[in-house]
Structure 1
């Protein structure tokens, strides 16, 4: 297994809380589970530490970084203009007839699949993954690869916070807002798409911060 595959596997495990916040990382156990040597494990762990998903713990040890409410508040502040820009760019490409059919279809499909998962009472990890895929569809439709690259590095933080904060009870509202955003994008309504995306991120961020703060007031 190549280093990037090891990295992607561990990134997903952290994002979905299969490696839980605060969990001690044991390289030997990971190497055994993934059936690779320690060298790609060690390299992947350093990359994850650089992403802020791992932190030092004891003498030469690592642990999964705890979820901190203040960090998520800052992340959502930074995320808001990026999501707003992505939605606006996506709607502009639709309005200008520059969006590919498969890009529009991908957004519509991710919206429908996400709504079905929520109506079927999906687990928190499944719901978080659906949320991620919906926003990826907007990034792709925007045509701006830099936004996708920047946000892809942050979604592991977002997904694990959603899971850990037990935000499943708010998912119906989340997907109502997703539907409104997708509809304005696919109509080519640039200003509406941008504004709805900004409001969605602001509300979701405030809700997430409140839940995380209530669970860990000292965070």
Structure 2
């Protein structure tokens, strides 16, 4: 049986590597032997290897025998598939949440995330905007209550995050996206399931077209 210490070190290695991948500190295509990763993290190889197995299952890395771990790239085709799934699942989750008429207390974190997006735009802080945007979507899934759905969609968020961070600086400030979140929030507040579903679907479709178009036009080599 694994010790608590061993499990916690694995969790730490997983969190640190995942943060580096999401922030593009470990860029797509980066290949590094496990001993070097372990040394850089100041850990033994066992928790690092176990963390890499988890990250491979989430589609973020590929373990290459005798060579180490490679951070997987994300292509326009990858993003097209990811957004197709998000467009199918998230609007339905949001509609289910609206149908049970959530309280103002439940909606408050979504309201705060939307306000944080607005404040970030006013200050030109795109990193903070992305954090607030992620928080909105993750909070909505948490409120929906299906843990398996939240975990599955969360893995897709992680896979797409790197591409979003790069393309965000190749397009206009996300003013429209922020406004769309506010519209979704108002439909939720009114308990309008169909309005919530349609607003969320249009939001995901528009952002999908915008992001994939940039990936195709710029043909970013590091993605």
Whether TM exceeds 0.5 here: the answer is yes
> Contact 2:11 / 2:51 at 8 angstroms: preserved in 1?
yes
SS in 2 for 1:63: strand
- Aligned 1:6-85 pairs, distance under 5 A: 6-56=13-63, 59-85=66-92
Q: What residue number does 1:131 align with?
A: 133
> Contact 1:103 / 1:140 at 8 angstroms: preserved in 2?
no
Aligned positions, number: 214
CA RMSD of aligned residues (A): 2.2
> Contact 1:87 / 1:142 at 8 angstroms: preserved in 2?
yes
> Contact 1:114 / 1:134 at 8 angstroms: preserved in 2?
no
Write the distance in 1 (CA, Å) between the matches of 2:215 and 2:66.
29
TM-score, normalised on structure 1?
A: 0.88
Offset, 1:47: 1.6
Distance 1:143 1:51, change over 3 A: closer
- The answer to whether residue 123 in structure 2 is matched with residue 113 in structure 1 is no
SS in 1 for 2:26: coil
Deviations 1:193-213 (A, max 9, x none): 000001111111111111111
Unaligned runs of 5+ in 2: 1-7
> Contact 1:107 / 1:134 at 8 angstroms: preserved in 2?
yes
SS in 2 for 1:55: strand
Q: What residue number does 2:147 align with?
A: 145
TM-score, normalised on structure 2?
A: 0.86
Write the distance in 2 (CA, Å) between the matches of 1:161 and 1:217.
10
